[in-house]
Structures are given as structure tokens and as C-alpha cells.
Amino acid sequence: MATAFSVFVPASTEAIMTAVPKEKSGGASAITQTTRQLGQALGVAIGGSIAAMGYRSGFSGAGLHLPRGALDRAGSSITGALVVARDLVGGSRGALLGAARLAFMHGVRSALLSSAVLACGGAVFAGLAVPSRRASRHLAEAPGTDLATEAPQ
């Protein structure tokens, strides 16, 4: 995540800050920071929710000879599985921890796959929606066009 931020943040900040007039740079900076922090918080919340749903759907109690309450607790979260496993011995403990590990990996894979699909969708959207600098430069060089004074339609 840090690598992605170190590549993305400077480029996006530079693009935003050079697109606004100097007198509006404070507001642009504030909006940029707010949207970045909101996006990070939502990303963590949504990713965590997808991982938790993936854990629950990936946990299989088949073959585990545990009381229903213990099985429900182990299937609700990885923490619940570890708490239940603490009180078990022998093969039951290993089987429960193995099922919990598989379910945890299923949840993490689901969250990462969802994040990758969302990131690719965002990249495609940005590629289509954000005007290129070449097009802006071409318009600026056209005779009779003053982009600094004309309002966008």
C-alpha cells in the first residue's frame, strides 16, 4: 500500500494543484486531503467487511466435531476460532485451526480481488474522464482561444 501511495499521491497532488489558480490552491489542497482520507477510510472499511464476509462464507465446520455454539463462534471470525481452539486438544484443535486458516485466506483473497477490480475500474474511468494535457495544450495553442479566461461549458 505504501508503494502505491508513493507513486500515486505525488502525481495526483501535482495534477490537482497545477489545475487550479494560485489563489484557490488552499481550497484545492483541503479538498484533495479530505477526499484522500475519506477514500482510505472507506477502502479499509469496505475491504475489512469483504474479508469478514469471505471468512464467514469460507469457514466449513464439516468434519469438526464441536458443539454448535463453539462452531458458530469459530465461524464468526478468526479471533473466535482462536478462542475456541485454545480450549481444544489434539486433532480437534489442529482441524479447527486449519479450517480457520483456509477461511481467513479465502476472506483476504476476496478482499484483495475486489480491491483490484475496483482499482482497475477507477483507472479506466480516470483514463476516459480526465482530459489529457496534450489536448489542453493543443486547445491553448489554437488561434483565438484563451483558456485562462474562458469558462468551461
Q: Where are the domains of the chain?
A: 64-123
Q: Please write the tens of the pLDDT for every residue from 53-100.
A: 999 999 988 888 899 999 999 999 999 999 999 999 889 999 999 999
pTM above 0.75, yes or no: no
d(CA 133, CA 135): 5
pLDDT at 10: 82
d(CA 73, CA 83): 9
Write down the mean pLDDT value for the chain: 86
With cell 481550497, the residue in question is 27
Task: Count the alpha carbons within 13 Å of 46 in the hemisphere toward its beta carbon.
Answer: 12
End-to-end CA distance of the chain: 38
Contacts of 37 by beta carbon, 8 Å cutoff, 6+ apart: none
Q: How many Cβ atoms are within 10 Å of 70's Cβ, its own excluded? A: 20
d(CA 39, CA 26): 20
Give the highest mean pLDDT range of 1-5, 117-121, 132-136: 117-121
Q: Please write the tens of the pLDDT for every residue from 40-56.
A: 899 999 999 999 999 99
Q: Which of 127, 112, 109, 104 is nearest to 1 (CA)?
A: 112
- Which helix (DSSP H) or strand (DSSP E) does residue 62 occupy? none
d(CA 54, CA 70): 19
